[in-house]
Structure 1
Amino acid sequence: MWVKFKLEQSDKDIIFLPLSMMGMYPNRVFVCFGGKTVNAVVKYSEFFDLSINSTYEDPGIIGISIGLRNKLLVPEMITYRICVERNAISIGPVIGLLLGNNIYRYSPRHMEKYSDRFGIYDKVGGLIYAFSPRTVNWKKRIAFGLYYDNLSHSWDYGYFPLPEVIYRRDFHSNSNDIKRLIKETGGRLFNSCRFTKFEMYKYMNKNEELRDFLPPTQLTQDFGQIISFIDKHVRVILKPIDLSRGRGILIIEKDGYNYKVTDYRMVLPVVTTYRINELREFFNQNNSLFNKYLLQQFLSLATIDGCPFDIRVVMQKRADRIWRCSGIECRVSKNGSHLTNISRGGYALSFDKAIQRSFGEQATTFYEGIVLFCRKFCNYMDKSGEHFSEFGIDVAIDVNQNLWLIEANVFPSFKGFKKIDLQSYFNIRYAPFLYALSLTKYGDCEELT
């Protein structure tokens, strides 16, 4: 059922229900809102109405005293879902967007980038607010943050009860705070962890079915190890284990006694050819490459007009909590570059067009195999003990039409979809809220699917 609240002048804890509900409930009920519960007096009035046929557009009206509003911290202008039980009335949902520790950045203007996720607010309703672990008052079980007002399409500051579901949007918070929030929500904090590239590799390598899709990979240790790896694979890529968007990458290719290094750590790539002693000196001067760097065989990817491309597959859970493909885009490198990242000059292309232009075949030839692999990947990640609801999975097809897993990110970028498939872009943006609702008592799979 859907409701809006009418504020009543009383400092006592009172909830006002329609006369038609008189006798259905005791004189006092527990009123629940997110992490807050208040034992309130029940009163009835002919001025209120609540029907099981209420909708977001035509909600019921019930009353709430100022005293009860202040204890529950309910923004009264929002349209809510309500779940009525014998001794309890639950109002919600209360969904949190967990941001990072840089609280000075979080303003209504900053939050505007999240506003395009609310195109399905009429299917979710309730309080959706952004907060930081640093703004939580653990003793009072409340948080300071910004909530979305769907009427004004704006973000406003306030204090709110801890959410019943949390969508994690930052991965630099204190691990103890995350564990505490997981406990507070009964495990309903999703995207609970972001694996580094090497952690992901080690976990995938344990699975006999999935390890065949992994290129040879090692964690950098010393120069001798790197040279041995290059001698074996000829072309290798070095990339940081905890960065994304093509940052910090180097490509090394062996050509006879020479080693060609393409260094993408700067805005513009720097290409230098070294003899082995010069290469050793290069690594001595850049010893950070032995710290949290991954060494991997460089794959000869399929190309479009001579430019390599890879494939971003967005896998998400929605109301039915089943992993589904929300969209596939291909990212093509700019001329002369090894990197396909759009942030490094690459461009997005639809999957159908990319496969046709590269292989001259229909996309369905590859689509089913790619989605099947990605679903197996996601189901295996669910066995890790963490709680996930979305992945941006980067895969690639090499010149021999073999499928490879490049990496997977629990905090992926969807920029390409906005240009090539706007509806898929919005569906991707909406999915986490639909999934969050499904984790609450207000979720209804048939209504949301």
Structure 2
Amino acid sequence: MISLICRIKEKSPFENSSGNTVYISPDLAKEISFKNNTKTKLICGGREIDVTVIVCAECPYSQRILCMNRDLLDTLLIPDDIEVEVIFHTSVIKLGPFIGILADKNLLEGYIDGNEFKEKFEIYSDTAKSIGAFAYIFKIKDLDLNKKQVKGWVVEYDDDSNAYLTRKTLPLPDVIYNRSVVSPFSSMNKKLKLLEKLNNSTIIMNRYTRINKLKVAKILSQNKITKKYIPKTFKFKGINDIEKMLQRFDAAYLKPVNGSFGSRVIKVIKDEKYGYAAFYNKDRENIKITGDLESVMSKLKDIMGKRTYIIQQGILLADYHGRPFDMRFVMQKNSKGSWDISWSRSRVASQNNAVTNVAAGGTSISTLKVIREASKDKMDITIEKIKEACIDICNILDKNLKLCDLGFDVGLDKDLNVYLIEVNFRELCRQSNISGEWEGISRCYKQPIYYLKSLYQQEMAKKYSPQN
């Protein structure tokens, strides 16, 4: 197997060239050990076609170019004039990887409408181009499995270098990077399973982005390596659970099993004057409810509704100038498949707030700044403890789920012990525009593409090894 990055061109050296002919230069033929008039299969996405490779001495094109006419490009749904990795095997020419960024309606419309906080799809596309891959964006309904094609979106640039999206019919993806909301029992997941059945070489990363908090806590608390990072967590069944939790800990948190952004999170504590107090944020307003436990829970019915909740041990968080803080880490696999911290930012809670989330009134601040304030002369040791915890958690979750990135909310208690507060399987920090953070944020876009290209290469090496 020989792998080279080649340009795909819509040109034929001869006017009477047949539709299923690929032309290459003598230099390229020598490099890949192909003879003139070689019969082989050309594969792209889920499509393959029998072709004849002609070594053209008069070919005016540079060494690593595959020339074919428009009919052949259209049959394989290959955009003209792209550079991708080409695998030359004894009986196959494989083009790829085609990387599909699976987005939902909100992400796509936010980009098209020019929202300030939007997914910057052009970075995925530009990164893929720089390493011999082709990335496009699609929604799950854009997949046409019967025709083995995708009606996707391709990033292009106008004369002023402004990025925009163009709709094109494209090959099925070799690799999917999921940026949409997918749960194990959703209709989206059913369609992804059909895609895998149709094209068994398709790789799907971050397949599930909605996994309930109770399942995550169970996976991690049952592992001897990660259980020390997990606050006591149970399914919330009623008032007795709060009483039991507050007998052991200073605070109890009630969290929706599937919530995010700190929405509908409630902190409950004992109150010397009123008996109990509950705190939550609604529309950026901090609300406090007091009374006996039954009356407090009755008043919370409107915010809790019929949702399933967990109850979690409250951690007495380390503080920054008197206000508790936690830290958000974006963990991603590098091209070698190892977990790294790509970006981090800390959130300091507003006064009397149950959560630190910026969306709920918290303040964003440098992680190093809050760690330095909290740990003093133990800063280096504390940073290493946090890194170790994040990597441990990633490795355990990755055994159960096929992942390439995660967002973590991590807290330090007063003794600088590390606790996992929440896992975000679809982190949205990369949509931030915080001043001075661009290097880390751009890394969040690039790392998944590097890793997916590496993963594709590993799979192709197995498939087209000399033994095969």
TM class by shorter chain equals 0.7 to 0.9
Task: Report whether the alignment pairs 1:394 with 2:409.
Answer: yes
Q: State the 1:234 CA deviation.
A: 4.1
Q: Distance in 1 between matches of 2:447 and 2:429?
A: 13
Which residue number in structure 1 is paired with residue 193 of structure 2? 179
- What letter matches 2:68 in structure 1? I
Which residue number in structure 2 is paired with residue 352 of structure 1? 368
Q: Distance in 1 between matches of 2:319 and 2:398?
A: 33
Which residue number in structure 1 is paired with residue 173 of structure 2? 163
Q: Distance in 1 between matches of 2:81 and 2:279?
A: 57
User: Are the equivalent residues in 1 in contact too, given 2:88–2:94 (CA < 8 A)?
Assistant: yes
Which residue number in structure 2 is paired with residue 91 of structure 1? 95
Which residue number in structure 2 is paired with residue 267 of structure 1? 284
User: Are the equivalent residues in 2 in contact too, given 1:334–1:347 (CA < 8 A)?
Assistant: yes
Where structure 2 has 5 or more consecutive residues not aligned to the other structure, the ranges are: 461-468
Report the 3-state secondary structure (helix = DSSP H, G, I; strand = E; otherwise coil) of the residue aligned with 1:134: helix
Report the 3-state secondary structure (helix = DSSP H, G, I; strand = E; otherwise coil) of the residue aligned with 2:369: helix
Q: Distance in 1 between matches of 2:395 and 2:180?
A: 23
Post-superposition Cα deviations, 1:24-63, rounded to whole Å, max 9, x if no partner, equal 2453221111222111122233224454xxxxxxxx3331
Q: State the 1:442 CA deviation.
A: 8.5
Q: Distance in 1 between matches of 2:373 and 2:107?
A: 46
Which shifted more, 111-120 or 308-317?
A: 111-120
Distance 1:68 1:420, change over 3 A: same
Which residue number in structure 1 is paired with residue 275 of structure 2? 258
Q: Distance in 2 between matches of 1:215 and 1:441?
A: 40
Report the 3-state secondary structure (helix = DSSP H, G, I; strand = E; otherwise coil) of the residue aligned with 1:419: coil
Q: Distance in 1 between matches of 2:202 and 2:34?
A: 33
Q: Distance in 2 between matches of 1:276 and 1:106?
A: 43
Distance 1:377 1:165, change over 3 A: same
Post-superposition Cα deviations, 1:223-258, rounded to whole Å, max 9, x if no partner, equal 333344344434211111112111111111111352
- What letter matches 1:76 in structure 2? D
TM-score, normalised relative to structure 2: 0.84
Q: Distance in 1 between matches of 2:427 and 2:111?
A: 23
Which residue number in structure 2 is paired with residue 61 of structure 1? 65
Q: Distance in 2 between matches of 1:88 and 1:106?
A: 40
Which residue number in structure 1 is paired with residue 9 of structure 2? 6
User: Are the equivalent residues in 2 in contact too, given 1:221–1:290 (CA < 8 A)?
Assistant: no
User: Are the equivalent residues in 1 in contact too, given 2:124–2:135 (CA < 8 A)?
Assistant: no
Q: Distance in 1 between matches of 2:453 and 2:223?
A: 32
Report the 3-state secondary structure (helix = DSSP H, G, I; strand = E; otherwise coil) of the residue aligned with 2:42: strand
Q: Distance in 2 between matches of 1:276 and 1:317?
A: 45
Which residue number in structure 2 is paired with residue 142 of structure 1? 149
Q: Distance in 1 between matches of 2:361 and 2:325?
A: 12
Q: Distance in 2 between matches of 1:393 and 1:103?
A: 21
Report the 3-state secondary structure (helix = DSSP H, G, I; strand = E; otherwise coil) of the residue aligned with 1:202: helix
User: Are the equivalent residues in 1 in contact too, given 2:196–2:202 (CA < 8 A)?
Assistant: yes
Matches within 5 A, 1:87-236: 87-100=91-104, 105=109, 108-109=112-113, 113-118=120-125, 120-149=127-156, 153-172=163-182, 174=187, 175-183=189-197, 184-186=199-201, 188-194=203-209, 195-236=211-252
Which residue number in structure 1 is paired with residue 256 of structure 2? 240
Distance 1:88 1:280, change over 3 A: closer
User: Are the equivalent residues in 2 in contact too, given 1:310–1:396 (CA < 8 A)?
Assistant: yes
Distance 1:373 1:306, change over 3 A: same
User: Are the equivalent residues in 2 in contact too, given 1:397–1:404 (CA < 8 A)?
Assistant: yes
Post-superposition Cα deviations, 1:316-375, rounded to whole Å, max 9, x if no partner, equal 112111112223322222344332212223233323221222232353121111111211
User: Are the equivalent residues in 2 in contact too, given 1:31–1:39 (CA < 8 A)?
Assistant: yes
- What letter matches 1:255 in structure 2? D
Q: State the 1:291 CA deviation.
A: 2.8
User: Are the equivalent residues in 2 in contact too, given 1:124–1:433 (CA < 8 A)?
Assistant: no
Which shifted more, 192-201 or 123-132?
A: 123-132
Distance 1:442 1:68, change over 3 A: farther
Match of 1:17 among 11, 14, 24: 24
Which residue number in structure 2 is paired with residue 404 of structure 1? 419
Q: Distance in 1 between matches of 2:325 and 2:436?
A: 16
Q: Which runs of 4+ in 1 moved over 6 A?
A: 101-104
Distance 1:383 1:97, change over 3 A: same
User: Are the equivalent residues in 2 in contact too, given 1:11–1:66 (CA < 8 A)?
Assistant: no
- What letter matches 2:407 in structure 1? G
TM-score, normalised relative to structure 1: 0.88
Q: Distance in 2 between matches of 1:382 and 1:250?
A: 30
Task: Report whether the alignment pairs 1:35 with 2:58.
Answer: no
Q: Distance in 2 between matches of 1:287 and 1:303?
A: 28
Q: Distance in 1 between matches of 2:386 and 2:61?
A: 51
Q: Distance in 2 between matches of 1:324 and 1:316?
A: 5
Q: State the 1:427 CA deviation.
A: 1.4
User: Are the equivalent residues in 2 in contact too, given 1:163–1:185 (CA < 8 A)?
Assistant: no
Number of residue pairs aligned between Structure 1 and Structure 2 = 435
Task: Report whether the alignment pairs 1:313 with 2:329.
Answer: yes
Q: State the 1:168 CA deviation.
A: 0.5
Distance 1:120 1:35, change over 3 A: same
Q: State the 1:304 CA deviation.
A: 0.7
**Percent of counterpart pairs with the same letter?**
23
